[in-house]
A and B are shown apart, each in its own frame.
Chain A
């Protein structure tokens, strides 16, 4: 880890999460929103591993939590892409503003 303070990793994670949040809020393409959610999950993973390696280096619990996040991210991507593909096939649309089946 060569003299890099823990703060630097956490700042990178925070900025990555901020970019992902901004993208998920501003974009209207469903696939791009899924990509931004992956970015946010990545930021959390970076925080978990960095905190694990700096604060409790003798254990691997942060990495195990990160692996669970990776598993859930894979499940989320599969389901999200499946829903997007189904909506595209039925309605020819990936713009979330034009998909308003569930609007009351």
Chain B
């Protein structure tokens, strides 16, 4: 077994075990770290394939950008929701793992059949054992040259798609401003969601809005009560809370 074969075996083991632990870790933070290990192992395989520029870009984007975004998402999510199946009782976990069709045997069958078919095809194929020539020596120059001449239009399309995705991500995750929240409350559209209830003063207004109809405040007894009952009549209690809280 040559040195290269040993290196390949180690890298393949790192990649596959890392991927395995990404799926099976109890804690999702561990999954994210194993994902990083898998990405680094993949970069090693690319270096072994004599594609160092690709390995560099792979580490740069996957470890530097995607893994960071994943870790951010984990940290910004509610920790209560992140334990997943780990806090289920053991019997339920075993039942889910082996008996349930959706979480147990059916995905195993689907993925197993796919892998078996592909491996059978690979075993039957006539694949070269050695490369059919020398790889490009200066691959950064070759990739850059091709990227900006022959693949210039796909490159521009990809960059436009990336820009649109990033702007969309910003738009999705941006916090609503107080003004928009008030407008949503008036429309009654997003008034049922939690952020409205967290507006300072909205809780008190909610209480007033709930209390007013029960007490039977006479219309016109106070301007504020009048506004609350009028708004409650038009768009419901939560909508009124948004209106008054603003």
Contact = CB atoms under 8 A, between A and B. Distances in A.
Contacts of A18: 111-112, 114-115
Interface stretch (B161-169, B203-211, B212-220, B221-229): B161-169
A25 interface: yes
Give the interface size class of chain A. Answer: 35 or more
Interface string B155-177: 00011011011101110110000
B56 to A, nearest CB: 11
B12 interface: yes
B127 interface: yes
Contacts of B84: 27-29, 32, 95
Contact of B194 (A46, A71, A90): A90
A29 B165 CA distance: 22
A19 B129 contact: no
Given A14-B118, A53-B51, A68-B158, A95 B81 contact: yes
Contacts of B106: 25
B5 interface: yes
A57 B136 CA distance: 6
Contact of A55 (B2, B111, B128): B128
Interface string B17-32: 0011011000010011
From A3, A15, A19, A64, residue with most partner B Cβ within 10 Å: A19
A4 B176 CA distance: 55
Contact of A54 (B65, B115, B131): B131
Nearest to B54: A63
B28 A32 contact: yes
A63 B51 contact: yes
Contacts of B187: none
B94 interface: no
A29 B27 CA distance: 11
B77 to A, nearest CB: 5
B23 A36 contact: yes
Interface string B117-145: 01100110001111111111001001100
A12 B12 contact: yes
Nearest to B72: A81
Contacts of A78: 69, 165-166, 168-169
Interface string A65-95: 0111011111111110111111011101111
Interface of B: 2-5, 8, 12, 15-16, 19-20, 22-23, 28, 31-32, 35, 38-39, 42, 45-46, 48-51, 53-54, 57-58, 61-62, 65-66, 69-70, 72-74, 76-78, 81-82, 84-85, 103-104, 106-108, 110-112, 114-115, 118-119, 122-123, 127-136, 139, 142-143, 146-147, 151, 154, 158-159, 161-162, 164-166, 168-170, 172-173, 193-195
Given A16-B19, A60-B143, A77-B69, 4 more contacts: A2-B5, A3-B2, A5-B129, A49-B51
8 contacts: A20-B23, A25-B110, A34-B70, A42-B39, A63-B54, A79-B172, A82-B172, A88-B81
